[in-house]
Amino acid sequence: MIQFDKKTEESKAAISEAELIFVLDYNALHRTGAEMQAALENATAQFILIDHHQMPGDFAVVTYSDTSACSTAELVYHFIDNCYGTDQLSTDIAQNIYCGIMTDSGSFRFPSVTPDTHRVVASLIEKGLDHTMVHRQVYDTNMLDRLKLIGYALSQKLEIIDDSFTAYISLSTEELRRHNHRQGDTESLVNQALSIRGVKLAAFFRETNNEVKLSFRSKGSFDVNKFARDHWNGGGHINAAGAATTLSLPEAIQKFKRLVQQCRIEIINS
């Protein structure tokens, strides 16, 4: 695996030399960040898009988009099945597909999980999937630094906007560095904020060297996909979306608080 932000030049070379590029779990090239977006837009390869977010772009020669699916991984399974059948699925592939379904469906608790989702998982178990091992590796193998970071974020950085049923958490690059942050360490924080009784909208702000990453979650009918698209050039699902901004962390938080006040009645009534 070549990770773009760690091996940028090697990644650009791979993109330039590719004949076919699969775009998975995002549907607009700008969601990859400016530098990777430029590399993808300059690529001579054809694109195959497999995704379950709203409003897919039109840059791919093949687009397999289903917004009702609980995960892109479930769509990958069906893509393989429709093209080649599942007889050749190895245990490793089954475990990776299951991991994608499990994490994107909130461990099968979101409304988008269907009987077909469980039929796919049953098929993967028949391929030799050790679902207990996958769950343990994802959720029960924490580093001590990660638990301390989560504890710090919840005890020191969680803010409530009482009159708008909203909660948010922000972490600066310095705070992340101080806790030896690794990619994925903060994945659960926005959901923790949303879990507070009475909260209908939650946001998480993570500062990086060049931008601020934002995650939005909601309960009920408040559409964070629209919220992210209209105000942050982001997107996602009705109840889960993300974005990035070149605003400073304080500026991004102030903009969010201002928008929350503008949407206050909609949030309360959702």
Residues 53-66 have pLDDT tens digits of 988 999 999 999 99
- Three-class SS of residue 165? coil
Answer yes or no: do 121 and 163 share one domain.
no
Answer yes or no: do 125 and 219 share one domain.
no
How much is the pLDDT for 189? 96
Q: Of 33 and 25, which is predicted with more confidence? A: 25
In this structure, which long-range contacts are made by residues 120-124, counting pairs with CB atoms below 8 Å and at least 24 apart in sequence?
A: 120/74, 120/77, 120/78, 123/77, 123/86, 124/77, 124/89, 124/94, 124/95, 124/97, 124/98
Work out the number of other CB atoms within 10 angstroms of the CB of residue 211: 18
How much is the pLDDT for 13? 96
- The residue type found at 201 is L
How much is the pLDDT for 23? 97
Domain end residue (candidates: 137, 160, 191): 137
Answer yes or no: do 133 and 89 share one domain.
yes
Answer yes or no: do 129 and 151 share one domain.
no
- The residue type found at 14 is A
How much is the pLDDT for 1? 85
Q: How far apart are CA 126 and CA 256, in angstroms?
A: 46
Answer yes or no: do 74 and 190 share one domain.
no
CB 241 within 8 A of CB 216: yes
pLDDT tens digit sequence for 69-104: 999 999 999 999 999 999 989 999 999 999 999 999
- The CATH number assigned to the domain holding 89 equals 3.90.1640.10
How much is the pLDDT for 6? 85
- Three-class SS of residue 161? strand
Read off the pLDDT of each residue in 214-236 and give the average, rounded to a whole number. 95
User: Does the pLDDT of residue 209 top 90, yes or no?
Assistant: no
User: Does the pLDDT of residue 31 top 90, yes or no?
Assistant: no
Secondary structure, 3-state, 83-131:
HHCCCCCCHHHHHHHHHHHHHHCCCCCCCCCCHHHHHHHHHHHHCCCCH
How much is the pLDDT for 231? 97
Domain end residue (candidates: 137, 168, 201): 137
User: Does the pLDDT of residue 160 top 90, yes or no?
Assistant: yes
Answer yes or no: do 154 and 106 share one domain.
no
Domain end residue (candidates: 97, 118, 137): 137
How much is the pLDDT for 30? 87
CB 222 within 8 A of CB 200: yes
Range of the domain at 71: 8-137
Read off the pLDDT of each residue in 125-133 and give the average, rounded to a whole number. 95
User: Does the pLDDT of residue 145 top 90, yes or no?
Assistant: yes
How much is the pLDDT for 256? 98
User: Does the pLDDT of residue 176 top 90, yes or no?
Assistant: yes
Residue 169 in any domain: the answer is: yes
CB 36 within 8 A of CB 11: yes
User: Does the pLDDT of residue 37 top 90, yes or no?
Assistant: yes
User: Does the pLDDT of residue 180 top 90, yes or no?
Assistant: yes
Work out the number of other CB atoms within 10 angstroms of the CB of residue 24: 15
Residue 122 in any domain: the answer is: yes
Answer yes or no: do 222 and 179 share one domain.
yes
How much is the pLDDT for 210? 86
Read off the pLDDT of each residue in 196-206 and give the average, rounded to a whole number. 98
CB 229 within 8 A of CB 236: no
CB 266 within 8 A of CB 230: no
CB 37 within 8 A of CB 9: no
Element (H, E) at 267: helix 264-268
Q: Among residues of the chain, what percentage have pLDDT more than 90?
A: 89
